[in-house]
């Protein structure tokens, strides 16, 4: 008989994460289309360029609210500690599957915690600069302020997009068994022992890591 699964994310956490994920991807694709005309076809799923232009800021507002909720839900587990610093120093062993040389991670490893903080800070930048571009007359009347906001909006988006590609790759292709934690909220004990041994021990009371 297979071992019982461990519960990793509740329904609210999964819904909030997927609202963040879907809105972020929609913003990235429409933003790319606005910035680079050969990619204009990317606006087709939203009904074409004019509709995408109208919807982009509203999707951004939804992203901002969902991101804030995600920060509130997860912040408690995201503070870095001494073990995280040791984990970072051994990250090459994690990447090359030499797990005996990697300090045991808790619910999140140091890379996941850093991703959380980076995306959190970038979200503040996207949303703040996005609101300035949405209401330029009121919020960015000076031309230099508006062009700085635009430049920041684009660079933060590109940076966040690159981290997102890595995040999706790690959560799907690189580490099989991870994606289901965001689908039905559960993971196998074997997965937890391998990737998050300290969390596995906390959940099961077993320390055979």
Of the candidate residues 26, 31, 87, 108, the single one contacting ligand HEM (CB under 6 A): 108
Site of tokens 């330029």: 136
Cα dihedral 55, 57, 59, 61, rounded to 10, equals: -150
In the three-class reduction of DSSP (H, G, I as helix; E, B as strand; rest coil), residue 7 is classed as: strand
- 146-175: contacts with ligand HEM (CB under 6 A): 164, 167-168, 171-172
Find all residues with CB under 8 Å of 139, minimum gap 6, and list them. Answer: 131, 132
Between the alpha carbon of residue 48 and those of residues 3, 31, 33, 80, the distances in Å are: 49, 13, 10, 43
Binding mask 50-89 for ligand HEM (x = CB under 6 A): ----------------------------------------
Q: What is the DSSP letter of 153?
A: H
- Cβ-based nearer residue to ligand HEM, 24 or 140: 24
Of the candidate residues 30, 31, 102, 115, the single one contacting ligand HEM (CB under 6 A): 115
Of the candidate residues 5, 124, 125, 182, the single one contacting ligand HEM (CB under 6 A): 182
Q: Does residue 112 touch ligand HEM according to CB under 6 A?
A: yes
- Cβ-based nearer residue to ligand HEM, 147 or 172: 172
- Cβ-based nearer residue to ligand HEM, 136 or 167: 167
- As a whole number of angstroms, the distance between CA 66 and CA 21 comes to 10
In the three-class reduction of DSSP (H, G, I as helix; E, B as strand; rest coil), residue 104 is classed as: coil
- Cβ-based nearer residue to ligand HEM, 43 or 119: 119
- Cβ-based nearer residue to ligand HEM, 57 or 171: 171
Q: Which residues of 54-67 are buried (b: 16+ CB within 10 A; e: fewer)?
A: ebbeebbebbbebb
Distance from the first to the final alpha carbon of the chain: 21
* Contact (Cβ atoms closer than 8 angstroms) between residue 135 and residue 143: no
* Shortest distance in whole angstroms from residue 104 CB to ligand HEM: 14
* Shortest distance in whole angstroms from residue 127 CB to ligand HEM: 12
* Residues of this chain that bind ligand HEM (CB under 6 A): 8, 17, 20-21, 24-25, 108, 112, 115-116, 119, 164, 167-168, 171-172, 178-179, 181-182
């Amino acid at each position: 008989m297979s071992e019982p699964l461990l519960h990793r994310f509740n329904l609210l956490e999964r819904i909030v994460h997927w609202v963040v994920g879907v809105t972020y991807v929609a913003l990235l694709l429409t933003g790319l289309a606005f910035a680079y005309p050969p990619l204009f076809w990317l606006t087709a799923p939203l009904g074409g360029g004019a509709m995408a232009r109208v919807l982009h800021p509203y999707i951004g507002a939804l992203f901002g609210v969902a991101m804030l909720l995600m920060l509130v839900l997860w912040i408690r587990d995201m503070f870095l500690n001494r073990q995280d610093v040791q984990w970072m120093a051994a990250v090459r062993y994690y990447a090359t599957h030499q797990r005996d040389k990697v300090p045991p991670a808790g619910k999140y490893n140091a890379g996941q915690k850093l991703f959380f903080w980076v995306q959190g800070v970038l979200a503040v930048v996207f949303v703040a600069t996005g609101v300035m571009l949405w209401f330029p007359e009121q919020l960015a009347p000076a031309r230099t302020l508006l062009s700085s906001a635009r430049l920041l909006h684009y660079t933060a988006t590109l940076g966040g997009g690159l981290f997102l590609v890595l995040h999706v790759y790690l959560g799907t292709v690189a580490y099989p068994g991870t994606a289901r934690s965001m689908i039905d909220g559960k993971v196998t004990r074997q997965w937890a022992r391998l990737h998050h041994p300290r969390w596995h021990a906390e959940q099961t009371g077993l320390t055979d890591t």
